[in-house]
């Protein structure tokens, strides 16, 4: 993939405004952003959502590649999910795990992720999970809206992102993601919240 797919660098505060749980970004949408937004426009007709993990750091200026975008959605009954799945297929998305709608739904009910990509492609892809655990459900409560021009996305709180990266995933890439957010938002973060989320994560693992 072209490096430009992930070119979202934010170099200074003038390109970003963070007020009342809303971040406004002054940046051009790259191909990865457009892929995410296209998927979200279908998804939000059927389910609420929150985007988590690596794409959050990329969206907010970290220059690195990713193959998947992690997202929690509210738990849906089978009929609603099937409607969502059929509309995703009409929008030219396919499921990498299986094309059997019952099997996809069973994956989700078992707290497993299912991946959706553009037809005939595998990356990038959206890794979708039902929010079933306490920490997953609570990530909907303090979401941040990110506005880019006429588009907007809902991401997990920065404190949850940092805690999850530092105390659950812990890879070099994840630690760099956390450091990027800490540096960029050092005056906006609540370290009491980060410690609270750390305990919640540790209690679930």
Give yes or no for residue 12 having a pLDDT over 60. no
Per-residue pLDDT reduced to its tens digit, 33-85: 999 999 999 999 999 999 999 999 999 999 998 999 999 999 999 999 999 99
Which residues lie across from 153 on neighbouring strands?
A: 146
Task: Indicate the domain borders of the chain.
Answer: 3-157
With beta carbons less than 8 A apart as the criterion, state whether 100 and 114 touch: no
Write down the pLDDT at residue 10: 52
pLDDT above 90: percentage of residues in the chain: 86
Per-residue pLDDT reduced to its tens digit, 107-155: 999 999 999 999 999 999 999 999 999 889 999 999 999 999 999 999 9
d(CA 153, CA 180) in angstroms, rounded, equals 20
Write down the pLDDT at residue 98: 97
Burial profile 145-181: b = 16 or more Cβ within 10 angstroms, e = fewer: ebebeeeebbbbbbbbbbbbbbbeeeeeebeebbebb
CATH of domain 3-157: 3.30.460
Please give the mean pLDDT across all residues of the chain: 92
């Amino acid at each position: 993939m072209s490096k430009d797919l992930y070119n979202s660098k934010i170099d200074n505060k003038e390109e970003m405004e963070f007020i009342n749980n809303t971040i406004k970004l002054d940046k051009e949408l790259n191909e990865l952003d457009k892929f995410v937004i296209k998927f979200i426009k279908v998804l939000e007709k059927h389910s609420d959502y929150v985007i988590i993990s690596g794409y959050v750091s990329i969206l907010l200026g970290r220059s690195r590649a990713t193959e998947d975008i992690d997202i929690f959605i509210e738990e849906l009954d089978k009929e609603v999910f099937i409607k969502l799945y059929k509309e995703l297929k009409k929008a030219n998305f396919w499921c990498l795990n299986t094309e059997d709608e019952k099997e996809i739904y069973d994956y989700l009910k078992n707290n497993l992720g299912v991946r959706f990509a553009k037809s005939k492609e595998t990356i990038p892809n959206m890794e979708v999970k039902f929010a079933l655990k306490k920490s997953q459900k609570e990530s909907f409560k303090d979401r941040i809206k990110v506005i880019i021009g006429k588009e907007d996305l809902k991401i997990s709180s920065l404190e949850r992102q940092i805690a999850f990266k530092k105390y659950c995933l812990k890879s070099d890439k994840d630690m760099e993601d956390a450091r990027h957010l800490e540096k960029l938002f050092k005056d906006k973060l609540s370290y009491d919240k980060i410690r609270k989320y750390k305990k919640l994560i540790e209690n679930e693992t």
